[in-house]
Each structure stands twice: as C-alpha cells, then as structure tokens.
Amino acid sequence: MDILDLMKKEMFRRKLSPRTIKTYLFYVRKFLLFCKKKPKQFSKKDCRLFLEKFMGKGVSGSSINVALNSLRFMMEEVLRKSMRLNIRYSKTPKSLSSFLSRNEIKRLVSVITNNKHKLIVLLMYGSGLRVSEVVNLKSEDIDFESNIGWVRHGKGNKDRPFILPFCLIDSIKDIVSCHSGYLFNGRNGKLSVKSVQEIVNNAAKKAKIDKNVHPHMLRHSFATHLLEAGNDVTAVQSLLGHNEARTTMTYLHIAKPKLITIKSPLDEIYT
C-alpha cells in the first residue's frame, strides 16, 4: 500500500489547495521514516510517539498543529482508523500584523520607476491581493464592465472577487489589450513570487522605510486602511477572502487609534 499516493488522491478529490497537499505529505513522510510498520499496522500510539518526539525538537506551535492534522487525515480519511488523540493543539502566539501608513505607501510607490512593477505594487495594495494571487492573474480574470477582478483557486482553492481601483483601470486595460494569458509576464510565462518580493524589498530600501517591508504588508495595509475609513468588517472580510470574521477582526486592533474617536451611545444621552 502506497500511503502517500492514496493521500494525494484523496486530497485531490477533496480539492485541497496544492500548498496543503504538499505540507501534509511532507509531515507524513517524516512519520514514515519514524515508524517502520506497514500502514495497516499504524496506531494512535505510533502517532503520539512521533508527535512527542517532534515536539521535543523545539518546533513552533503552528508546525505541531499541522503535523497533527496531517496524521489525522492519514489515519481517519485514508486508513479509516480512529485518531482521537488526547493532545491539545499547541497555541501559536498571536502578533499584530504590521502595515504601512498611507504616506509610506506613497513613498514606496514613488521610487519605483518600472511601470509594470509599480502597477503590481499598486494592485496588491489597492485590491488587497496576496503576492501569489497577483502573479497568477490572467487577462480573462478582469471584468471591466463590473469593475472587479477574480482570484481563481486562491487560498483554500477558492474563487473570490476583488475590487479594481478606478485609478488603475486604464493601465490594466493597456496590458490586456497587448497580450492574453498572465497579466504580468515573466521569463517563464508569469512573474515569479520571488521577483515581486525583490521589487517590494528594493523599493522599501530606496524609500528609506524603516520597517521589514514585504508584499503581504500591502494586504495588511489595505485591510487596515479600509477599517480605519469606517468600512464594515464583513465587507472587508469578503474582499480578503477570510472564512471567519474573527480573522478580519485582528485588523481592528491595528486600526484602534481611529476607533477610539467613536462616541459611546451613553454620551449621547447624558451630554
């Protein structure tokens, strides 16, 4: 029995994201090196021993959680065995997401001289796109009539719409009119994630922004600035593609200085 092949087929059948498939297979391979039994002989005890050894290496709480989920999927969904381990999920410390101010966004963009590179950065901030989403955009994903774009097979293998900033529409139309396929071409058909990371990193250095600037920070800034402007959390949640509102709510902590200016209804009664 090729347990890895069976897992891969089952995950493809359930349309799990390529990243999840790759990660689950990575941890199960580690387990197979640890446990020398045949798959039919795998037990909860084997999984527990592996996780205990794994936890003893000082790995992060999030990695332990993923390893546990990987083994649970193998045992329950592929081998059809019980996997009710009495192991608590490791808590991963929550930290507030960093973001750029509106002034820092302007500074970042102003130092980029390549028009295509500038458009990529503006689109990530203006639409809240992940770097993997912007490099995978295709001409057919843009709906100018409705003024939206579509992320295809994004995180969680989901499709979702995103807003097109009015100020970028003409530039995007110029690209679409010139070629089909990927919106931002690279040497191998599309621009790589690494290339975009370098574009943002270099621009941050030129703009002398004293923060660890990375592409995802543009998405954080998009969410924070929308909430600061008073937009509804559920609307922002939809634009970001979050499954749960509590994920979007984390940005409220960042936007708190703006929120504390809101008056309590009690003050309306007694003042």
Print the SS3 string covering the chain. CCHHHHHHHHHHHCCCCHHHHHHHHHHHHHHHHHCCCCHHHCCHHHHHHHHHHHHCCCCCHHHHHHHHHHHHHHHHHHCCCCCCCCCCCCCCCCCCCCCCCHHHHHHHHHCCCCHHHHHHHHHHHHHCCCHHHHHCCEHHHEECCCCEEEECCCHHHCCEEEECCHHHHHHHHHHHHHCCCECCCCCCCCCCHHHHHHHHHHHHHHCCCCCCCCHHHHHHHHHHHHHHCCCCHHHHHHHHCCCCHHHHHHHHHHCHHHHCCCCCHHHHHHC
250 and 158 both lie in a single domain: yes
Residue where one domain finishes, among candidates 78, 94, 128:
78
222 and 110 both lie in a single domain: yes
How many structural domains compose the chain? 2
Dist. CA 191–CA 140, nearest whole Å = 17
Residue where one domain finishes, among candidates 62, 78, 94:
78
Q: Is residue 18 part of a domain?
A: yes
Q: Is residue 270 part of a domain?
A: no
Question: Which residue has tokens 């992320």?
Answer: 151
Q: Is residue 228 part of a domain?
A: yes
Rg of the chain (C-alpha set):
23
Condensed to tens digits (0 to 9), the pLDDT of residues 137-167 reads 999 999 999 889 998 876 666 788 898 999 9
Q: What is the CATH number of the domain that holds 109?
A: 1.10.443.10
188 and 240 both lie in a single domain: yes
Q: Is residue 250 part of a domain?
A: yes
Catalytic member of 48, 206, 216, 258:
216
Q: What pLDDT, on the 0 to 100 scale, is given for residue 241?
A: 76
127 and 216 both lie in a single domain: yes
Instruction: Quote the domain boundaries for residue 133.
Output: 102-259
Condensed to tens digits (0 to 9), the pLDDT of residues 192-225 reads 999 999 999 999 999 999 999 999 999 888 888 8
Crossing angle between the packed helical segments 18-34 and 3-13, to the nearest 10 degrees: 160
Q: How many CA atoms lie within 13 A of 246 on its CB side?
A: 1
Q: What pLDDT, on the 0 to 100 scale, is given for residue 187?
A: 77
24 and 158 both lie in a single domain: no
Dist. CA 27–CA 122, nearest whole Å = 37
111 and 44 both lie in a single domain: no
Dist. CA 100–CA 209, nearest whole Å = 9
Q: What is the CATH number of the domain that holds 58?
A: 1.10.150.130
Catalytic member of 8, 118, 130, 225:
130
Q: Which two tokens stand for residue 65?
A: 């959680």
222 and 106 both lie in a single domain: yes
Catalytic member of 48, 155, 206, 214:
155
Q: Is residue 267 part of a domain?
A: no
| Main-chain phi, psi angles of 182, to 5 degrees | -65, 140
Based on the residue annotation, tell me whether 29 is a catalytic residue of this protein. Answer: no
215 and 144 both lie in a single domain: yes
Based on the residue annotation, tell me whether 253 is a catalytic residue of this protein. Answer: no
204 and 124 both lie in a single domain: yes
Catalytic member of 251, 253, 258, 263:
251
Condensed to tens digits (0 to 9), the pLDDT of residues 94-136 reads 555 688 999 999 999 999 999 999 999 999 999 999 999 999 9
Q: Is residue 91 part of a domain?
A: no
62 and 121 both lie in a single domain: no
Catalytic member of 118, 160, 220, 242:
242
Catalytic member of 8, 219, 220, 225:
219
Based on the residue annotation, tell me whether 219 is a catalytic residue of this protein. Answer: yes
Q: Is residue 83 part of a domain?
A: no
Q: Which two tokens stand for residue 58?
A: 């000082």
Dist. CA 11–CA 152, nearest whole Å = 19
Based on the residue annotation, tell me whether 251 is a catalytic residue of this protein. Answer: yes
Condensed to tens digits (0 to 9), the pLDDT of residues 221-242 reads 888 888 888 787 778 887 887 7
172 and 136 both lie in a single domain: yes
Q: Is residue 69 part of a domain?
A: yes
122 and 72 both lie in a single domain: no
Q: What pLDDT, on the 0 to 100 scale, is given for residue 264?
A: 54
